[in-house]
Amino acid sequence: MEPGDRQNLVADQALVDRAKRKDVEAFGKIVDAYQSRVLGFVRRMVLNEDEALDVTQEVFIKAFRAVDRFDGRCSLRTWLFRIAHNLCIDRARKVSRSAHVSQISLVVEEDEEREVADMRFDPASALLQRELSQVLEESLAAMSEKLRIVLILHDQEDMSYEEIATTVDIPVGTVKSRLFLARAFLQNRLKGYFYGANS
């Protein structure tokens, strides 16, 4: 563990201890620290901006109500992501998943927009980058939730196998196999962009 990580864990625990005493300001600092990351994760799971905002708000409401039960056996980040994961699964069970991929509103991060804008002097590269980004989003949407969540937590949130196992409540071996299957799925969907359409 890096020194910075250790400091973050200590700072998080101090905020949690205050939040357990119903210190709203302390919990507000937890929200400030993790809201954007939780929202980014939820966006990839529900693939709808309004729903993502609703679920993210629900994550922190639920976390505030349950903060007394946070025992510190996992990091605060892992605990929040586990709540988010469970809410996304609950939401998916309630909502019909009949929408076509073409109707999914694609969420583009601000950083991704800047990357595309930086390529404005090379229209062909910019077009390819936008198209690849869209295909990637569509591929994530087409992937099963079980595979998608493991891929997002590992590659986007930089979680370890153990943290993912705790978040999703599955064995570490299952995390590794799902990550392998998710990458194989993406590789198959994106191979035309890297090896040529006819390969």
* Residue 102 in this model has a pLDDT that exceeds 50: no
Question: How does the average pLDDT of the chain come out, rounded?
Answer: 79
pLDDT for residue 5: 65
Give the residue, 80 or 156, on which the prediction is more confident. Answer: 80
Output the pLDDT for position 179.
92
Calculate mean pLDDT across residues 11-39. Answer: 92
- At residue 95, φ and ψ (nearest 5 deg) are -100, 135
> What confidence category does residue 89 fall into, taking pLDDT thresholds of 50, 70 and 90?
confident
Q: Which residue has the tokens 């988010």?
A: 84
DSSP letters, the chain, are --HHHHHHHHHHHHHHHHHHTT-HHHHHHHHHHHHHHHHHHHHHHH--HHHHHHHHHHHHHHHHHHGGG--SSS-HHHHHHHHHHHHHHHHHHHS-----GGGSPPP--HHHHHHHHHTTT-HHHHHHHHHHHHHHHHHHHHS-HHHHHHHIIIIIS---HHHHHHHHT--HHHHHHHHHHHHHHHHHHHHHHHH-TT-
Mean per-residue pLDDT for 31-57?
A: 90
Architecture category of domain 1-98 in CATH: Orthogonal Bundle (1.10)
Residues 15-30: what's their mean pLDDT?
91
Radius of gyration of the chain (CA): 19
pLDDT digits (tens, 9 = 90+) for 117-154: 444 445 565 566 677 677 778 888 888 889 999 999 99
Percentage above 90 pLDDT, the chain: 45
Please give the Cα distance from 87 to 82 (Å, whole number): 9
pLDDT at 108 over 60: no
Q: Which of 57-61, 134-138, 167-171 has the lowest mean pLDDT?
A: 134-138
Reported as a pLDDT band with limits 50, 70 and 90, residue 22 is confident
